[in-house]
Amino acid sequence: MAEKFISERNLRFLLYEVFDVESLLQYPRYADHSREVFDMVIDTAMKMARDLFKPVLTEMDRKQPQYINGEVKVHPQVRTVMREAGAGGWIGATFDYEYGGQQLPEMIGAMTPTAIFSAANYSASVYPGLTTGAAGLIVSFADKAMQDLYLPKMMAGEWQGTMALTEPQAGSSLADITLTAEPTEQGYYKIKGQKIFISAGDHDGVDNVVHLTLGRIKGAPAGIRGISLFIIPKKRIEPDGTLKFNDVNCAGIYHKMGYRGAPITQLAFGENDDCRGWLVGEPNKGLGYMFQMMNGARIDVGVGATGIASAAYYASLEYAKERPQGRRLSSKDPLSPQVPIIEHPDVRRMLLFQKAIVEGSLSLLMQCSKYHDLEKVSEGEKKEDYNLLLELLTPVAKTYPSEMGILSCSAGVQILGGYGYCDEFPLEQFYRDVRIHPIHEGTTGIQGLDLLGRKVIMKNGRAYKFYLSEVRNTIAEAKNDPDLSLYAQTLEELVEKLDEVTKFLVGIATQGNPERFLADATLYLELFGIVSVAWQWLLQALVASRKLKANCNSEDESFYRGKILTCRYFFAYEVPKAQALMVRLMNNDGLTVDMNPAYLD
């Protein structure tokens, strides 16, 4: 199997050269850090990925979690991963010092290790990742007593954290959640209900599981205004510190297409009337709180997809260099040796496609991460601006890597031909693993609605306008670079057209036709994704071009030329796809709204 699963050089390029993570060191929040610290974080994450995550990638796929007597058994390495992630401080890497965190920037403490670990072994990476998300919610919204009770064990990797939202009748539609919580005089709530598809909801790699759960307090209003957030541990902590079973029952696990190293569980709360939950924050505000975790989780999904696509890219690249097959079209001699398939333009096209998706996605995600960091260190209006940008880009940064990651892994399978389809090579696993990403944490359809129906129009389009100005800043800079001005101009025209499409669609909304407004929201999201990743490629090319003008060694030169070539590829092969989307989006015929479903039979 290919050794390489992610490019450290590319990570450093994004961190230090494109997004200048060192610029954060000027803020008091990050004053204790330094470039050396960041470098050591990257080195250590790479080492852990190689030693702990990568060696069990295949095995965790083949030996799936098992449901035995109401409990879930997972691969023994899960316990090691959780303990090392805890002992190393990775679970709380970005948390404030006062909560036992390391106060690292998101770019270094969250984005970088998540990308590295998920590229090495996505399934293994979600156990600590989910725990970070759940612990983050506790930090933000729970009271001190609850923080003291749960955070140390979760951050040590001894207890698993989950997000428990989905119910059989409430998947995309969280407004329909029914898990109920009945107040008691002792302060806790008595919980009854069911959750399904809960990732890492039960397993023997930890000593307890802490579910951050959405439910309704008895008598709460219908819809999302009646949803509250609860902490419901699998085992509750008795006053004497011992753990007691809290009537959270694992009723089974699902057998999945991919991402098989982590179980998704069906959970029954309060079957024996003895399940206790503790309200987090105020009643009926749960969905708002949960969105903090969900936004983070959506970005993580984008990173996870990018990680898998990255591993697939390096596996297919290695293969393409070694597999001799066929001759160049210009070579007529049948006795000449066969050439490695990387000599064929069509194979190169597929490799460039993979590289463009992987590195374009990672750049967009890193951009989001930077906005997150800037939000943390800014005040007032600026803070809000960065928050709005992050909100706007979250559905894009979740969806583009997820949807395109599938196509990218598929190209990887294709490059291996028949071997790509067989399990001696890891490509078929990557292809199965990556398929989850457009589904969990809100399907692509839901992300489309979120982008067009909420984010683009919120605050009178303030986030959207700020986004356009960010893209235009890059365009203006690139116009001054003769090697890139052509792409700058193409992107400028593209942004104009995106704006035209947006105005057209919002116009439909103002005419009071929400169905037609949002019917093709997914396609709008797709368009937005192409624009955003084109922006990121221009940004990367801009930096690469600048570096090439200075003196650099031969490795660096090749790296930067690769960046510029891939930018050219993106503008030549991917950007034109936006045209088709725009043609469709500018048509308000209501084809899918008005059709008769019987015609599908």
Partner 1 sequence: MNIIACVKQVPDTEAQIKVKADGSGIDEGGIKWVMNPYDEFGVEEALRLKEKFGGEVTIVCLGPARAMETIRTALAMGADKGIHIDDPALYEADSYATAEALAAAIKGLPYDIIFCGQRAIDDDSGQVGSILAELLGIPVVTMVTKLEVEGNSAKATRPIEGAQLVISTSLPCVITATKGLNEPRYASLPGIMKAKKKPVDIKNAAALGVSGASKAKVVKFVPPPARPPGKIICADDTPEGKAAELVKLLREEAKVI
Ligand X SMILES: Cc1cc2nc3c(=O)[nH]c(=O)nc-3n(C[C@H](O)[C@H](O)[C@H](O)COP(=O)(O)OP(=O)(O)OC[C@H]3O[C@@H](n4cnc5c(N)ncnc54)[C@H](O)[C@@H]3O)c2cc1C
Position 88 contacts partner 1 (CB under 8 A): yes
145-178 burial code (b ≥16 CB/10 A, e <16): eebebbbbbbbbbbbbbbbbbbbeebbeebeebe
The mark string for 224-263 relative to ligand X (x by CB under 6 A, - otherwise) is --------------------------------x--x----
Residue pair 146/212 in contact by the 8 Å Cβ criterion:
no
Among 441, 470, 526, 574, the active-site one is 441
Q: In angstroms, rounded to a whole number, what is the distance separating the alpha carbons of residues 530 and 579? A: 11
Is position 59 annotated as part of the catalytic site? no
How many chain residues are in contact with ligand X, going by CB under 6 A? Answer: 21
Any contact of residue 238 with partner 1 (CB under 8 A)? no
Rg (CA), the chain: 24
**Of 146, 166, 125, nearest in space to 433 by CA:** 125
Quick check: 122 and 307 in contact, CB under 8 A? yes
Distance CA 388, CA 383 (A): 9
**Binding window for partner 1 (CB under 8 A); candidates: 164-172, 354-362, 372-380, 552-560:** 552-560
Which residues of 113-156 form beta strands (DSSP E)?
A: none
Q: Which does 553 bind (CB under 5 to 8 A by kind): ligand X, partner 1, none?
A: partner 1
Which of ligand X, partner 1, none does 17 bind, CB closer than 5 to 8 A by kind?
none
Contact positions with partner 1 (CB under 8 A) in 9-68: 32-34, 36-37, 39-41, 43-44, 47-48
How many residues bind partner 1 (CB under 8 A)? The answer is 27
Name which position in 44, 147, 414, 443 contacts ligand X (CB under 6 A).
Answer: 443
Question: Per CB under 6 A, which of residues 189..228 are in contact with ligand X?
Answer: 197-199
Nearest to 117 by CA among 59, 171, 78, 172: 78
Q: Is 93 in the site for partner 1 (CB under 8 A)?
A: yes
User: What residues have CB less than 8 Å from 115, skipping those under 6 apart?
Assistant: 6, 11, 303, 306, 307, 310, 362, 365
Nearer to partner 1, 109 or 405 (CB): 109
Q: Is 165 in the site for ligand X (CB under 6 A)?
A: yes
The token duo for 237 is 């902590």
In the complex with partner 1, the residue whose CB is nearer, 18 or 41, is 41
Q: Which residues contact 517 (CB under 8 A, 6 or more apart)?
A: 452, 453, 505, 506, 508, 509
Comparing CB distances to partner 1, the nearer of 33 and 568 is 33
What is the nearest approach in angstroms of ligand X to the Cβ of residue 406?
A: 14
Q: List the single partner that 218 binds among partner 1, ligand X, none, CB under 5 to 8 Å by kind.
A: none
Q: Residue 37 binds which entry of partner 1, ligand X, none, with Cβ cut-offs from 5 to 8 Å by kind?
A: partner 1
Cα separation, 524 vs 562, in Å, equals 30
Tell whether residue 445 is a contact of partner 1 (CB under 8 A). Answer: no
Structure-token pair, residue 350: 């597929």
The answer to the question of residue 166 lying near ligand X (CB under 6 A) is yes
Q: Residue 104: in which H helix or E strand, if any?
A: none
The residue written with tokens 């297409």 in the block is 257
CB under 5 to 8 A by kind: which of ligand X, partner 1, none does 3 bind? Answer: partner 1
Q: Binding segment for ligand X among 4-12, 62-70, 162-170, 223-231 (CB under 6 A)?
A: 162-170
Q: Which of residues 403-442 bind ligand X (CB under 6 A)?
A: 436, 439-442
Min dist. Cβ of residue 48 to partner 1 (A): 6
User: Out of ligand X, partner 1, none, which partner does residue 39 contact, by CB within 5 to 8 A per kind?
Assistant: partner 1
Query: How many whole angstroms separate alpha carbon 215 and alpha carbon 248?
Result: 14
Site residues for ligand X, window 69-88 (CB under 6 A)?
A: none
Residue 579 neighbours by CB distance under 10 Å: 13
Applying CB under 8 A, among 8, 17, 477, 481 the residue interacting with partner 1 is 8
User: What is the longest distance spanned by two Cα atoms in the chain?
Assistant: 88
Site for partner 1 in 139-168 (CB under 8 A): none
Asked if residue 101 lies in contact with residue 94, where contact means CB atoms within 8 angstroms, the answer is: yes
| Closest listed residue to residue 14, CA positions, set 291, 369, 469 | 369
Q: Which uninterrupted H or E stretch holds 211?
A: strand 208-217
Q: Which is nearer to partner 1, 47 or 454 (CB)?
A: 47
Bridge partners for 237 per DSSP: 243
Residue 5 within binding range of partner 1, rule CB under 8 A: no
Does residue 264 touch ligand X according to CB under 6 A? yes
User: Residue 285: how many CB atoms within 10 A of its CB?
Assistant: 16
Contact residues toward partner 1 (CB under 8 A) are 3, 8, 32-34, 36-37, 39-41, 43-44, 47-48, 84, 87-90, 93, 102, 104, 109, 553-556
Contact residues toward ligand X (CB under 6 A) are 162-166, 171-172, 197-199, 256, 259, 264, 436, 439-443, 445-446
Active-site positions? 441
